[in-house]
């Protein structure tokens, strides 16, 4: 419960884990590594952050979307392994940002996700990362994040 308490201390609530939205599993475990499918800014049965970053949506809005994606990722992990305290480290994030033509600050949007993980896990939350601008994401969401996480055996 240490990690969940830290999330609460930071002013966040871990959402309920959402079922897969297609023919995939939200989390696949291979040994002590979890591969987490793309998580979107979904809460209480609906998309909370939509649109493209640039003129339509600003960086701060997209960073908020990224933080919700991280909370959804952690909810999926909790659903898969039962206890977030079993996480050893966040290995890799892929942050996809729905971007207007000319927007080139995807890495700044991704910092919203990375900072939250560092705030929760300390140095073990500082992952390798890719930040990618895309033309469109499912359900017109602003951000989608997938992750690779090492857990206890």
Residue 22 CA to residue 38 CA, distance in Å, equals 11
> Residue 101: helix, strand or coil by DSSP?
coil
* pLDDT single digits (tens) 30-81: 999 999 999 999 999 999 999 999 999 999 999 999 999 999 999 999 999 9
The per-residue pLDDT for 18 is: 84
pLDDT for residue 112 is more than 90: yes
Residue 72 neighbours by CB under 8 Å, 6+ apart: 15, 17, 18, 39, 40, 41, 42, 43
**CATH code: domain of residue 57:** 3.30.1330.40
**Start-end of H helices in the chain:** 2-9, 59-81, 106-121
Domain that holds residue 17: 2-151
Q: Tell me the sheet residues that pair with 90.
A: 149
- Domain total of the chain: 1
């Amino acid at each position: 419960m240490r990690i969940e308490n830290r999330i609460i201390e930071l002013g966040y609530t871990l959402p309920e884990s959402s079922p897969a939205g297609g023919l995939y599993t939200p989390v696949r475990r291979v040994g002590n590594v979890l591969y987490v499918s793309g998580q979107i800014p979904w809460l209480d049965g609906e998309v909370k952050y939509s649109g493209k970053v640039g003129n339509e949506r600003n960086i701060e809005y997209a960073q908020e979307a990224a933080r919700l994606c991280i909370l959804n990722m952690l909810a999926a992990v909790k659903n898969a392994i039962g206890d977030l305290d079993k996480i050893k480290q966040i290995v890799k994030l892929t942050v996809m940002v729905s971007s207007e033509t000319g927007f080139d600050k995807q890495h700044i949007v991704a910092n919203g996700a990375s900072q939250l993980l560092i705030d929760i896990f300390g140095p073990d939350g500082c992952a390798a990362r890719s930040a990618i601008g895309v033309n469109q994401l499912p359900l017109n969401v602003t951000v989608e994040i997938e992750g690779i996480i090492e857990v206890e055996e």
